[in-house]
Structure 1
Amino acid sequence: MAQASPFDLLVVGGGINGAGIARDAAGRGLSVLLCEQDDLAAHTSSSSTKLIHGGLRYLEYREFALVRKALQERETLLRAAPHIMWPLRFVMPHMPNLRPAWLIRAGLFLYDHLARRELLPGSRGIDLRKHPAGAPLIASIQRGFVYSDGWVDDARLVVLNALDASERGARVLTRTKLVSATRTNGLWNARLLQADGTTLDVEARAIANAAGPWVGELLHAALGRTTNQTPNQTATHEQNNGANPAANGGANNKPAYSVRLVKGSHIVTRRLFEHDHAYIFQNPDKRIIFAIPYEQDFTLIGTTDVEYRGDPSQVAITAEETQYLCESINRYFKQPISPRDVVWSYSGVRPLLEDETADNPSAVTRDYRLELDAPAGAAPLLSVFGGKITTFRKLAEEALDELTRALGAPAPAWTAGAPLPGGDIAHADFARFAAQFAQQHPWLPARLAHRYARAYGTRAALVVGDAQSLAALGHAFTPDLYEAELRYLREVEWARSAYDVLWRRTKLGLHVEPDTLDAVSRDIDAWFARETPAQPIYNAPT
C-alpha cells in the first residue's frame, strides 16, 4: 500500500525517544508516521528503574551538565503527568567504609542546587534510629540522608506520548518494521513490514532513527550506512535488506557515534517495608542499588550493569544477577531475601553512548548525542545515540529544532508546559483528583477507582464510560480487569495482547495468582483475537 503524499517525518522506534519525537513533531505541525517493530515500550523503555531523576551517582563521574539537564526536567515532567509521575523521597543509609559523610553531603548540596526546585523538598540528614526508614535496617546503620527525586510508570509514559502524537495527527503503527529506505529525489522511500507479512511503501521528507539498541543495526541494514560497530554491538541481521548504500550517502559515510549495549536487570519481591520512602544503597563495588515501593504490595530492586552482546529482544536476567541483587539488599536489611523470594524479574538493554574511556559499564555516560545526516539536496536523517528516560522531552525538543531547520520549516518548541493525555489535573494535585473521581463513581471499589485514576488521569472517565455498576463494565478477566478497560486499551492505546495489558499498560500480572496467570492470559489473548481487526488501521497524510 502506498500513500498519496509524503509524510514530513518517519519516526522509527516506539520507545520513549521515538514517541517523544513523534509527539513534538506533530505538535509543530508536521505530518508524522511512527513505526515500531513490536509493541510501544516493548523493550528498554518499559525495563527501567522507573525513576525521574538527575542521577546522583553521576556527580562522581563529573557529569554536571547531564545531571543539571535531568534535574531541570524532573519538575517539568512531574507537572505534565501527575497521574503517572510523582515525587519520591529516597533514603541513603550511611556506610562510612564506602563514602565519607562529608562527600555525600557535598553531593546532595550540589544535587539540591544545580537546578531550581519548586515541587521537591531538599535533602537533609536523618537519625535512622528514630526515622521510620530505619526500622527494616540492620542495627549498625544509625545515620543516613534523605533527598528527593521522582517516580514514573515508564511504559505508560511512552504510550501517552504516542497518544498525544496521534491526537495531534500522527499515524502510529505498532508491530511494523522498517526493512529498507533509500533517498530518491529529495525524499526517503521506505518499505515497512507488518506482522501479517504485508508491506507498506511510504515516502517521507525526513527520518528520525530512534531505534534504541537497534540504532546501529538500522543504519547499517535498513538505511545502508556503514556503522562504527563496537564489539558488543553485534547486528542481529547482517544483510542489507535491499537498501542502496550509495543512494543513502555512500559506503564511507559512517555515523559519528555508536552505542554500547549494557543490560540492566531488576527483581520484584513481596513488600519488604511498610513506609513510602525508597532506598538507595551503596555497594562495595561502587555501584548503587535502589529498593522502591512498587504496586502497593511489592518492592522493586535494581539495577545491574552488565555488558551485553546478544539480541536485545532476547535479554533476560541471569542467576548471578539475581544473587547479586539479593546480596546487595542483605547488606542492609534485617530480614534477608533469596532468589526464592523473587516473584518477577525483568531486564532491558540500555543503548548507552559509547565512551571508550569508561571500562566499567556503570561509568558509561547516560547523556545522548543527535547526529543529523543531511547532504545538500538529500532528505535528512537524524539518529539518536544514548539518552535516559528523564531527558527524553529535551532530547525530542532538540531533535525537532534540528529537523525543522533541515526541512526549511522551523517551528517553536511547545512541550515544556503541555500536559500529557490525562495529565491536565488541576494544580497537579493528584490526591484531590483521585478523591473526586472516587466520589463521582461510588460503585467502584476504592482500590479499582484509585488504579483507574493513577493509570488514566482525567481520561479515566473514558474507561468507565456510561457504566453505573461493575456488571456494566463487562466480563471480569481478573477481579480488577474488566472488558471495558480492555476495550479502551485496544481502541485507544494500541494494546493487542495479554502481555501488552498485564505487563506494560498495567502491572496487573503481578496481582494475578501464579497458578491462574496462564489461563487469564489465554482468555485475554482470545478476546483480542475476536475483537481486533487483522489489519492495523493505516491512514495516509492528505
Structure 2
Amino acid sequence: MKVYDLMVIGGGINGAGIARDAAGRGLSVALCEKDDLASHTSSASTKLIHGGLRYLEYYEFGLVRKALQEREVLLKAAPHIIWPLRFVMPHARDQRPEWMIRCGLFLYDHLAKREVLPGSETVSFAKHPSGAPLKDAFKRGFVYSDGWVQDARLVVLNVMDAAERGAQVYTRTACVAARRDGEHWLTTLQREDGSRFDVRSRALVNAAGPWVQSLIEDKLAMPSSKSIRLVKGSHIVVKKIFDHPFAYIFQNPDKRIIFAIPYEKEFTLIGTTDVEYQGDPGQVAIDDSEIAYLCEMSNRYFHSQISPADVLSTYSGVRPLLDDASDNASSVTRDYALEMDAQGAPLLSVFGGKITTFRKLAEEAVDKLAPLLGNHKATWTAEAPLPGGDMPGADFGRFLRDLTQRHPWLPAELAERWARAYGTRVAKLIGQANSLGDLGAEILPGLYEAELQYLVDAEWATRSEDILWRRSKLKLHLPPYADKVIDAWLAARSQSSRQALSA
C-alpha cells in the first residue's frame, strides 16, 4: 500500500488550499471529500474577497490586516475569477456616526499595502450613479474597494493545481474512520456505492469545516481542546434592483450588515444573515424569517421594494466559526486556529477561517506539518497564479480581447463567460475547434458538449448540480429542466464509457 505524506479530509477551501500548498512543496497528498468539491460552506459565501470592514468594530485589526494583504495576493493570482468591486455605504443618521466610519475607512485603506485597488471616498448621492436607486432620505455615503470571487471555482482551481502537482483526489468519498497505526494514520474511505478502501499516510489533516469537531470526536474517537460555533448565513437572489456596477453595504438597526451585490448581470444578490444553527450542516436551508428579514432590510434603502414572492433563488451555508464565547453570532471571530496533535503520527485540525484568508491558513498549516515530515521547502503560493490565472499583468480585459480575436467565431457572451470561468485554461476547452460546430452538440442554450466534457474530465463534475450551480451559475439562466438534460447526458456518457471498457 502506498504511504502518502498527507491525507486531507475535506474538499472545501481550506482542505483544497492545504492540499495545493503541500503538493507544491513536494509532499505526496491524498484528499477526500464526501460530496462534491465546495458543496457546502465554500459555495455558500457572500462571494467576497475582503478585509472585513465590520470586524474593525470588534478590534480584530490583525485579522483585517491579514485579510487585506491576502486580498491583493488573490486578485493577482486569479484575475479571471476574482476582480475588484466598489462598495457603497449609505450613511444613515441613526446609525454609526460619520466620523467613526471615516476613521474605519482610513484604517481599512492603510492597514495593508494596496497596489490594485483604489482607496475610499465620500460621495454625494445627487451626483453619484449609486444614488438613484436609493431612497431620498439618503443624501451621502462612502465608497471603498474590495473584491468579488467565484467561490466554488476558487476551490476547484486549488484542487486542480494540487492534482497537477501529484495529489490524489477522491470526491464523493467519505472518511468513515481513521486511527493511528504505528508511525502512520490508516484512514478508511467509503465510495458512494458503499465500497471501502484504506489510505495510509504519515500525517492527517482534518479540514472538514462544519464537521471538524464531530470528525475528531466521532471518527477519530479523540478529545478536542477547541470547539466550533455553527452560524447559518443565508442569501436571496432577485431580479436586479439597480443597473450600475457598484455594490452596497447596509448598516441595519440591529447592528448587522447586509450586502446588495450585482449578480450574474441580471440579478441582485442580498445577504447575509447570521443565525445560530444547531442542525445537520448538510441540510441547512433558508427559513421564512430570514427571507423576510433580507427583504425588509433591502426595502429600508431602495426605492424598488421586494417581497418574498420576488425571490428567485436562495442558498444557505453553515460557517464553522471558532467559538470565542461571543454573545451574538455576528460578533463571533472570523479568524482561525490550527490545532496540532503530535502525540504519534501528526494530526492537524482546522477550526474557523474565512475564504479570504484560506491561502495564508494553508501556508501556516503546511509550515507546521512539513518539518515533521522531513520537508523544509520554502513557501511558494504567494507568487503563484492559480490555474487559468497566468495572464500577462493579471490583465483580464486584455486576455478577453485576445481571446475574441483568436476565436472570432465565439459569440461574445460565451467568450466572456468562458474567459471568466476558465481563464487561460479555456484553450484546453476549445482545443482544435474552429467553429461552434466543432464544440459538439449544444446540449442547452450556450452549453456545448466540449464544456461538459471539460468539466467532467478536468474538474470532477459528476452531477448537474455540480455543473449548473458550483462550476457555474447557469442554473439562474437556463430553463428549469436543464438539470434533467445534463443528468441524462452524464448518464449516457457514463454508459458509453462502461461499454468501451467492457468491449
TM-score by length of 2: 0.98
- Report the equivalent of 1:153: 150
Report the Cα offset of residue 469 of structure 1: 1.7
- State the 1:134 CA deviation: 0.1
Match of 1:291? 260
CA contact (8 A) 1:19 1:161 kept: yes
2:501 counterpart residue number? none
Task: Output the CA distance in 1 between the equivalents of 2:207 and 2:376.
Answer: 21
Partner of 2:282: 313
Preserved CA contact (<8 Å) 1:49 1:303: yes
Task: Classify the secondary structure of the residue corresponding to 1:453.
Answer: helix
Instruction: Specify which of 459, 483, 486 is matched with residue 524 of structure 1.
Output: 486
Question: Partner of 2:405 in structure 1?
Answer: 439
| CA 1:535–1:56: 2 relative to 1, 3 Å | farther
Shift of 1:462: 1.1
**Does the CA-based 8 Å contact 1:308-1:349 persist in structure 2?**
yes
* % identical equivalent positions: 65
1:489 aligns with 2:455: yes
Cα distance in 1, alignment partners of residues 399 and 373 from structure 2: 42
- Match of residue 332, structure 2, among 360, 364, 367: 364
Q: Which amino acid aligns with 1:372?
A: M
Aligned to 1:170: 167
Q: Secondary structure at the match of 1:75?
A: helix
Gaps of 5+ in 2: 499-503
Q: Which letter does structure 2 place at the counterpart of 1:367?
A: D
Q: For 2:88, what is the secondary structure of its paired residue?
A: strand
CA drift at 1:532: 3.5
Are the aligned partners of 2:49 and 2:356 in contact in 1 as well (CA < 8 Å)?
yes
Q: Residue 322 of structure 2 is aligned with which of 353, 369, 376?
A: 353
Q: Secondary structure at the match of 1:7?
A: strand
What is the alpha-carbon distance in structure 2 between the residues aligned to residue 339 and residue 535 of structure 1?
A: 45
Mapped to 2, the partners of 1:415 and 1:370 lie a distance apart of: 19
Quote the Cα distance in structure 2 between the aligned partners of 1:522 and 1:335. 35
| Correspondence for 2:421 | 455
1:264 aligned residue: 233
Q: Secondary structure at the match of 2:301?
A: coil
CA distance in 2, matches of 1:487, 1:381: 37
Which whole-Å CA distance do the structure 2 matches of 1:530 and 1:75 have between them?
A: 44
Contact 1:496 1:532 in 2 (8 A): no
Contact persistence 2:12–2:37 (CA under 8 A): yes
Cα deviation code 1:384-441 (max 9, x no counterpart) = 0000000000000000000012223222111000000000011011011011101111
- In 2, the alpha carbon distance for the partners of 1:168 and 1:314 equals 34
Equivalent residue letter for 2:12 = G
Counterpart in the other structure of 1:540 = none
SS at match of 1:467: coil
Distance in 2, Cα, partners of 1:266 & 1:421: 29
1:139, 1:368 → 2: CA distance?
A: 41
| Offset, 1:535 | 11
The match for 2:472 is: 506
- Give the AA of the match of 1:395: L
Instruction: Give matches, 1:23-422, under 5 Å.
Output: 23-225=20-222, 254-356=223-325, 358-375=326-343, 378-422=344-388
Shift of residue 206 of structure 1?
Answer: 0.3
Aligned residues of 1:98 and 1:284 also touching (Cα < 8 A): yes
Per-residue deviation at 1:477?
A: 2.2
d(CA) in 2 for partners of 1:342 and 1:497? Answer: 25
Distance in 2 of aligned mates of 1:531 and 1:21? 32
Deviations 1:55-101 (A, max 9, x none): 00000000010000000100100000000000110000000111110
Which of 454, 471, 496 in structure 1 is aligned with 2:437?
A: 471
Question: 2: CA distance between counterparts of 1:345 and 1:11?
Answer: 30
**Match of 1:18?**
15
Cα distance in 2 for residues equivalent to 1:97 and 1:484: 55
- Give the Cα separation in 2 of the matches to 1:512 and 1:396: 36
Q: Which consecutive aligned stretches of 4+ in structure 1 deviate over 6 angstroms post-superposition?
A: 533-536
Q: What are the superposed Cα offsets for residues 313-350 of structure 1, whole Å, 9 maximum, x if unpaired?
A: 10000010001000000010011111111111000000
**Cα deviation, residue 533, structure 1:** 7.7
Secondary structure of the residue that 1:405 maps to in structure 2? Answer: helix
Secondary structure of the corresponding residue to residue 3 of structure 2? coil
Whether the aligned pair in 2 keeps the contact of 1:490 and 1:532 (CA below 8 Å) is: no
Name the residue aligned to 1:539: none
Letter in 2 for 1:390: T
Say how many residue pairs are matched. Answer: 498
Retained in 2: the 8 A contact 1:91–1:133? yes
Q: Is the 8 A contact 1:35 1:176 kept in 2?
A: yes
Alpha-carbon distance in structure 1 between the residues aligned to 2:493 and 2:176: 29
Cα distance in structure 1, aligned partners of 2:147 and 2:207? 25
Deviation at 1:531, TM superposition (A): 2.1
Q: Deviations over 1:496-519 (max 9, x none)?
A: 010000000000000013xxx2x3
Give the SS at the match of 1:19.
Answer: helix
Provide structure 1 residue ranges, at least 5 long, that are not aligned to the other structure.
Answer: 226-253, 537-542
Question: SS state of the match for residue 351, structure 2?
Answer: strand
Q: 1:473-494 CA distances to partner (integer Å, 9 max, x unpaired)?
A: 1122221111110000000000
The answer to whether the 8 Å contact 1:9/1:30 transfers is yes
Q: Deviations over 1:193-226 (max 9, x none)?
A: 001111111100000000000001111121111x
Instruction: Name the aligned partner's letter for residue 410 of structure 1.
Output: H
Compute the RMSD of aligned alpha carbons: 1.2
Residues 477, 520 of structure 1: 8 Å contact kept: no
Please identify, of 172-181 and 400-409, the stretch whose mean Cα deviation from structure 2 is larger. Answer: 400-409
Encode CA deviations 1:364-399: one digit per residue, 9 max, x unaligned: 000000000001xx1100000000000000000000
- Given that residues 35 and 178 in structure 1 are in contact (C-alpha distance below 8 angstroms), is that contact kept between their aligned partners in structure 2? yes
Do the aligned partners of 2:475 and 2:482 also contact (CA within 8 Å) in 1? no
How far did 1:530 drift?
2.5
Work out the CA distance in 2 between the residues paired with 1:533 and 1:172. 23
**How far apart are 1:41 and its partner, in Å?**
0.1
Give the secondary-structure state (helix, strand or coil) at the position aligned to 1:8: strand
